[in-house]
Amino acid sequence: MISLPTYSEQRVAARRRLPHMLFEYIDSGASNEQTAHANRASLDRIRLKQRVMRDMSDLDMSSQLAGLPSAMPVGLGPVGFAGMYARRGEVQAARAAAAEGVPFCLSAVSVCDFEEVQRDGGTTPWFQLYMIRDRAYMRDLIDRVVAAGVRTLVFTVDMPLPGIRYRDARSGLYDTGLRGLMRQAWQGARRPGWLWDVYLRGRPHGFGNFAAAIPGKTGLGDYWAWIRQNFDCSTNWDDLGWVRARWPGQILIKGVLCAEDASAAFDAGADGVVVSNHGGRQLDGVSATIDALPAVVDAADGRGSVLIDGGIRSGTDVLKALALGADGCLLGRAWAYALAAGGERGVVSMLQALKAELLVAMTLTGCATLRDAGRSLLD
């Protein structure tokens, strides 16, 4: 009998372990959180067609994500500040991904920089990047990542400015100065396990890849102030050409929700897109990602990879996404909760549970290989 933690169990464990503002940062969505809830509700409405008496003794769930092999069609997507959820959290998550044979994408706003993750995480990660105003710093960062041998860039385009997240504002995440430090200290003191293991033993808590851009700043409020000042609202498709000229590997455009933008991304030189609404954390009221997926797949028309995130919690969800045309899924909250709940072992357990669920889903829909995944799996 398999005994692995569920998404809900790891979420509860993360809530008990993390200071309030950190849990709220993972858990919250934009504004009234309609889109965050819709991501999950739309997946729940999809039904798979059960098939029986089919020889499933030679099942294969291996995949290619962004042209690279993966043990299953799943990767750990970029999650900000993961080094505050567990001690050197990005490194622990990268180790878990490497152990289970799936990709790990390092967030641009990580605590551990990509050099540390590559050195200590047992893998060369994918790297997420936003367009920032300081093009010289951005150029130097791209050059560093390319020199380290990173082959896949996840260029996130749906955050020209941060979304309105009321729960984060109420939790004290954006507070700066003495008031912010006092609120953070009080919340940390109420979680002594986190305080000892992460805050004290997990230092330094820098701004990872952007540490040189904001020297001397260590508070979460300071980081958010820098993001609001430096993320670039003037970004357009010509800027992808600027990035493309400097990046020799794969570029995935993350934040695509409609056919028009998918076509524009491939026309501008992208190798793939990620259908994403930032986990419902940016513009509330937009489509659930699984609802947007079919039109994006049609617009891609085989020109490159189509991945999806948003609400993916189980192997059954993964198979639903593949049936609608996705090449694979990126996880966000699922691995963030798992990391907070149990560090590297928590993420390994989460991936093993998802793999077991995918095995059952493939077996009972008669899907022996991922090449067989299509609309025929849907009821």
The pLDDT tens digits for 149-195 are 999 999 999 998 889 999 998 998 888 778 778 888 899 999 999 99
According to the model, what pLDDT value does residue 331 have? 98
Q: Point out which residues pair with 64 in neighbouring strands.
A: 69
Integer CA distances (angstroms), 110 to 113, 128, 158, 228, 271, in order: 6, 10, 18, 16, 24
76: its two tokens:
């750990």
Structure tokens, 269: 């030189």
pLDDT for 25 beyond 60: yes
Confidence at residue 216, expressed as pLDDT on a 0 to 100 scale: 64
The string of pLDDT tens digits covering residues 30-74 is 999 999 999 999 999 999 999 999 999 999 999 999 989 999 999
CA–CA distance, 171 with 187 (Å, rounded to integer): 10
Count Cβ neighbours within 10 Å for each residue of 324-346 and write b for 16 or more, e otherwise.
bbbbbbbbbbbbbbbbbbbbbeb
* Cβ neighbours for 366, distance < 8 A, ≥ 6 positions apart: 51, 52, 54, 56, 372
118-122, 210-214, 374-378: which range is least confident on average?
210-214
79 close to 336: Cβ distance less than 8 angstroms:
yes
pLDDT in tens, 89-132: 999 999 999 999 999 999 998 999 999 999 999 999 999 999 88
User: What integer is the mean pLDDT of 243-259?
Assistant: 96
For 325-364, how does the pLDDT look when each residue is reduced to its tens digit (9 = 90+)?
A: 999 999 999 999 999 999 999 999 999 999 999 999 999 9
Strand locations in 263-327 (E): 272-275, 305-308
Q: CB of 66 within 8 A of CB of 152?
A: yes
Count other C-beta atoms under 10 Å from residue 303's C-beta: 16
CATH architecture of the region 7-377: Alpha-Beta Barrel (3.20)
What percentage of the chain carries pLDDT values higher than 70? 97
Q: Answer positive or negative: Cα dihedral of 27, 207, 274, 158.
A: positive
Tell me the sheet residues that pair with 105. 126
What is the rounded CA–CA span in Å between residue 319 and residue 249? 28
- Interatomic CA distance for residues 337 and 13, integer angstroms: 8
Model pLDDT for residues 226-246, shown as the tens digit of each residue: 777 777 888 899 999 999 999
pLDDT digits (tens, 9 = 90+) for 284-300: 999 999 999 999 999 99
Look at residue 2 and tell me whether its pLDDT is greater than 70: no
Q: Are 166 and 24 in contact (CB under 8 A)?
A: no
* pLDDT at position 1: 43
What type of residue sits at position 177? G
Q: Which amino acid is at 179?
A: R
Would you state the structure tokens that stand for residue 124, as one six-digit string? 């060369």
User: Which 3 state secondary structure label does DSSP give 299?
Assistant: helix
Instruction: Return d(Cα 268, Cα 30) in angstroms, integer.
Output: 29
- DSSP 8-state symbol, 219: S
Whole-number mean pLDDT of the chain? 93
Catalytic residue numbers read 278
